[in-house]
Amino acid sequence: MNERSNTVDNGYPPSLIRYLVGNRRVFYRGVAMALLRSAVIAPIPWLFQVIIDVYVEASHLPGIAYISVIIVGMLLLHYAFAVLGAILISRQNGLMMMRLRGGIFNKLHFLNFGYLDRQKTGRLLSKYAFDTQKIEAITMQMMNQFLPTILYSFSLSVILVMLHWQLSLVLVLMIPLYAVLRNIFFKRMKQINRETRLAQEKLTGAAGEAISALRLVRSFGEEEQVTQNLDEYSYTLARSRFNLANISAIYSTFVYVMIQGFALITVAGGAYYVIQGSMTMGTLLAFMAGLPIILMPVHAFAGMIEQYFVAQEGYRSVKELLDSEYVEEWHGRTPLPDLKGDIRFQHVTFAYPETLRNVFTDFTLDIEGGKHTALVGPSGAGKSTIAQLILGLYKPDRGDVLIDGVSQSELDMRGLRRQAAVVLQDIILFSGTIAENIRFARPDASDEDIREAARMANAEEFIVRLADGFDTIVGERGVMLSGGQRQRLSIARAVLRNPRILILDEATSALDYESERLVQDAIRRVSSGRTVITIAHRLSTIRQADRIIVMKEGAVLEEGRYDELVARGGFFQDLLKMQLTEA
Ligand SMILES: Nc1ncnc2c1ncn2[C@@H]1O[C@H](COP(=O)(O)OP(=O)(O)O)[C@@H](O)[C@H]1O
Ligand SMILES: [Mg+2]
């Protein structure tokens, strides 16, 4: 991963316009094509004037045919340039968007979890998928429609000024008046667009959550509650879209009236100059033919402005993420190529961001490398938090976590994580085959490596019984597999990595006793010679640990081997008794 993306200055300019111009290649190509296609047809109204004033006057038919052929030639050229331009720009534009999306995802990889925990998946997805699309739509339209019309209108204005500067001047002076009136609309549109975007993010966020909770909601029979909740968000979005449509409709009517006003001035003013004798009928015709073209940018603008604000809002939203300062930037660069796996929590005080209560206060703990350490204790004790802190997913508020004696703030944590493996309680499977899911831990692993890892994890026997064996597709969340099968799959994934530090967070919690025994077996087999940290709720699963740490409310109560703890008759034995009566 490159270094630059780890900093807050991500190299994207502050505004949409500057972003578009900043992508020089797209912009220059767009301008060049627009210039060519506009310049080619700009003289057409002037040729009309020549037809009327020269050849009609002289009743010279071949001349009229000659000029017509020239005009047809110009139109063909214009068409060729327009098509070529569209192709070039759309290709460039596609690449530009790819880069932007890449930038967004890259940023996600660097943001700290304190920030990410507070973001809804749907909201981030909306930035990634919809906001970039909005920007894409406008860049295409700007380069391919708006820019050419501006140039077209400008070159035509030059020709009209040469034909009759007084009437041109009148028309040109009208434009600032129009611009002032327009501004009033724009302010309001911008504001409504912002509301719309926020409403959309909220809605996709809530909908995303509701969709992933469908099973839960139906099981509880609480569909009504969820629907009502979504309807509220949906209504907010509908209302802001309705406001937007309203203002847009009022605005386009305003534009229409303005354009008719311009037409009236041209006809009336032109008629006056013709009567006065300073203008020919041909010139008046050229003005009439040219007027719609001069006003084309105004037209195009009216069509584009709503989209522009939508895109600007999209860009702002994307920028918000790209500029986010919540970057995991407190790590260093020191590599640890030969990780031993000694872990030391040194006077660590830690609270999850935006929460009040400390999970740990002045917490000190040594975990010896190469040994199997078990963390037990009631839920909420902070066991999973220890795992997250070891991986450096959160920064301690005070104190330090040392790996092999080196502070995390000096370590290259990505390099470290690549030598570790975690099996989480909530197992995440990617959509793809079983083999692909295991291979995630080591992309260059051979099929035989994968088989071996599955064997170690006691997963092979169930995999080969599946219809397609290792090529069986597992769904988005592996719904076809049982909890125990998924856990063994995820252990296989961890085994394949051959990690120096293996963390198993309640990795056997979803298992029945038989599969638990299989997984236990697997864990024992892969444990030797590594630092293994098992977090377990069920105490039966940690008999073999070299050391058991009993935790409660962020503190270590007792520690020792299984028999020692039982013999001591403290909290561990209480826990044990409770579980025996439960079972
Ligand atoms: N992402 C989070 N954001 C805020 N608080 C959290 C988060 N994860 C855990 N906590 C809180 O931190 C405390 C310790 O949680 P955890 O380490 O998951 O406990 P355990 O794994 O021992 O059950 C709990 O009080 C829990 O509510
Ligand atoms: Mg936990």
> 536 in ligand 1 pocket by Cβ < 6 Å?
no
Ligand 1 pocket mutation pick from 116, 119, 352, 363 by most atoms within 8 angstroms of CB: 352
CATH node for 11-322: 1.20.1560.10
From CA 581, how far away is CA 583, in angstroms rounded? 5
> 381 in ligand 1 pocket by Cβ < 6 Å?
yes
> 362 in ligand 1 pocket by Cβ < 6 Å?
no
Q: Which ligand is nearest to the CA of 378?
A: 1
6: pLDDT strictly greater than 90: no
Residue 493 structure tokens: 């994934």
Q: Whose CA is nearest to atom 5 of ligand 1?
A: 352
Index of the ligand 1 atom closest to the CA of residue 386: 17
pLDDT band at 27 (very low <50, low <70, confident <90, very high): confident
Index of the ligand 1 atom closest to the CA of residue 506: 21
Task: Please return the burial class of 201, using the count of CB atoms within 10 Å of its CB with bins 0-12, 13-18 and 19+.
Answer: buried
Q: What would the DSSP string read from start to end of 331-389?
A: ---B--TT----EEEEEEEE--TT-SS-SEEEEEEEE-TTSEEEEE-STTSSHHHHHHH
Contact assessment for residue 77 and residue 40, using Cβ atoms and an 8 Å cutoff: yes
pLDDT band at 306 (very low <50, low <70, confident <90, very high): confident
236: pLDDT strictly greater than 80: yes
3: pLDDT strictly greater than 50: no
Residue range 376-388: average pLDDT? 92
Residue range 52-58: average pLDDT? 90
pLDDT digits (tens, 9 = 90+) for 508-567: 776 777 777 877 777 787 787 899 999 987 787 788 889 999 999 999 999 999 989 888
pLDDT at 559: 92
Q: Whose CA is nearest to atom 17 of ligand 1?
A: 382
> 356 in ligand 1 pocket by Cβ < 6 Å?
no
pLDDT at 188: 85
Rg of the chain over Cα atoms, rounded to whole angstroms, equals 35
- Residue of 390, 357, 395 lying closest to 504 (CA atoms): 390
| H-helix or E-strand spanning residue 194 | helix 165-212
- Cβ neighbour number for residue 220 with a 10 Å cutoff: 11
Index of the ligand 1 atom closest to the CA of residue 113: 1
> 383 in ligand 1 pocket by Cβ < 6 Å?
yes
Cα of 381 vs centre of ligand 2, distance in Å, is 8
415: pLDDT strictly greater than 50: yes
pLDDT at 537: 76
From CA 379, how far away is CA 381, in angstroms rounded? 5
pLDDT digits (tens, 9 = 90+) for 569-578: 888 888 888 8
Cα of 379 vs centre of ligand 2, distance in Å, is 6
> 112 in ligand 1 pocket by Cβ < 6 Å?
no
Show the DSSP H helices in 111-163 as ranges: 113-116, 121-126, 132-141, 147-163
pLDDT at 557: 92
Residue range 272-288: average pLDDT? 91
Residue 379 structure tokens: 């839920």
Average pLDDT, the chain: 86
User: Contacts by 160-163 with C-beta closer than 8 Å and gap 24+?
Assistant: 160/45, 160/286, 160/287, 160/290, 160/294, 163/46, 163/49, 163/283, 163/286, 163/287
Q: Of all residues in the chain, what percent carry a pLDDT higher than 90?
A: 31
Residue 28 structure tokens: 């220059």
Q: What would the DSSP string read from start to end of 252-271?
A: HHHHHHHHHHHHHHHHHHHH
pLDDT at 100: 87
pLDDT digits (tens, 9 = 90+) for 329-354: 778 888 888 889 999 999 999 999 88
What are the beta bridge partners of residue 432? 474
- 489-517: b (≥16 Cβ within 10 Å) or e: bbbbbbbbbbbbbbbbbbbbebbeeebbe
Index of the ligand 1 atom closest to the CA of residue 554: 14
Residue range 489-516: average pLDDT? 84
Amino acid code (one letter) for 552: K
Q: Whose CA is nearest to atom 27 of ligand 1?
A: 380
| H-helix or E-strand spanning residue 390 | helix 383-390
2: pLDDT strictly greater than 50: no
- Residue of 380, 375, 306 lying closest to 138 (CA atoms): 306
- Residue of 401, 408, 410 lying closest to 363 (CA atoms): 401
Phi, psi of 343 (to 5 degrees): -125, 135
Q: Helix 132-141 and helix 296-322: axis angle, to 10°? A: 150
- Residue of 149, 174, 158, 151 lying closest to 266 (CA atoms): 174
Largest CA distance in the chain: 121
Phi, psi of 119 (to 5 degrees): -95, 140
Instruction: Give the domain ranges of the chain.
Output: 11-322, 343-582
Residue range 103-120: average pLDDT? 85
> 139 in ligand 1 pocket by Cβ < 6 Å?
no
> 273 in ligand 1 pocket by Cβ < 6 Å?
no
- Report the relative pairing of strands 398-403 and 343-350 from DSSP bridges: antiparallel
pLDDT band at 10 (very low <50, low <70, confident <90, very high): low
Centroid of chain to Cα 459: 35
Residue 93 structure tokens: 């534009």
pLDDT band at 4 (very low <50, low <70, confident <90, very high): very low
Q: Whose CA is nearest to atom 3 of ligand 1?
A: 352
From CA 84, how far away is CA 144, in angstroms rounded? 10
- Residue of 454, 430, 353, 339 lying closest to 391 (CA atoms): 339
Residue range 294-323: average pLDDT? 82
pLDDT digits (tens, 9 = 90+) for 434-474: 999 999 999 999 999 999 999 988 889 899 998 889 998 88
pLDDT digits (tens, 9 = 90+) for 122-169: 788 888 888 888 888 888 888 788 888 888 888 888 889 999 999 898
From CA 53, how far away is CA 324, in angstroms rounded? 64
> 127 in ligand 1 pocket by Cβ < 6 Å?
no
pLDDT band at 376 (very low <50, low <70, confident <90, very high): very high
Q: Which ligand is nearest to the CA of 357?
A: 1
From CA 278, how far away is CA 167, in angstroms rounded? 11
- 79-118: b (≥16 Cβ within 10 Å) or e: eebbeebbebbeebbeebbeebbebbebbeebbbbbbeee
Cα of 184 vs centre of ligand 2, distance in Å, is 55
Q: Helix 281-294 and helix 223-276: axis angle, to 10°? A: 160
pLDDT at 302: 67
Of 169-173, 231-235, 562-566, the range with the highest mean pLDDT is: 231-235
- Report the relative pairing of strands 473-474 and 432-433 from DSSP bridges: antiparallel
CATH node for 343-582: 3.40.50.300
From CA 484, how far away is CA 462, in angstroms rounded? 11
> 121 in ligand 1 pocket by Cβ < 6 Å?
no
Q: Whose CA is nearest to atom 6 of ligand 1?
A: 352
Cα of 574 vs centre of ligand 2, distance in Å, is 20
Ligand 1 pocket mutation pick from 384, 389, 394, 504 by most atoms within 8 angstroms of CB: 384
> 155 in ligand 1 pocket by Cβ < 6 Å?
no
Cα of 380 vs centre of ligand 1, distance in Å, is 6
Question: SS3 letters for 518-543?
Answer: HHHHHHHHHHCCCEEEEEECCHHHHC
Q: Whose CA is nearest to atom 25 of ligand 1?
A: 380
pLDDT at 478: 54
| H-helix or E-strand spanning residue 167 | helix 165-212
Higher pLDDT, 25 or 202: 202
> 352 in ligand 1 pocket by Cβ < 6 Å?
yes
pLDDT at 183: 77
What are the beta bridge partners of residue 345? 365, 401
Q: How many residues does the chain have?
A: 583
Q: What separation in angstroms does the CA of 320 have from each of 122, 189, 331? A: 16, 20, 23
pLDDT digits (tens, 9 = 90+) for 74-109: 999 999 999 998 888 888 888 888 888 988 888 888
pLDDT band at 1 (very low <50, low <70, confident <90, very high): very low
- Cβ neighbour number for residue 262 with a 10 Å cutoff: 19
Q: Which of 308-317, 395-404, 533-542 has the lowest mean pLDDT?
A: 533-542
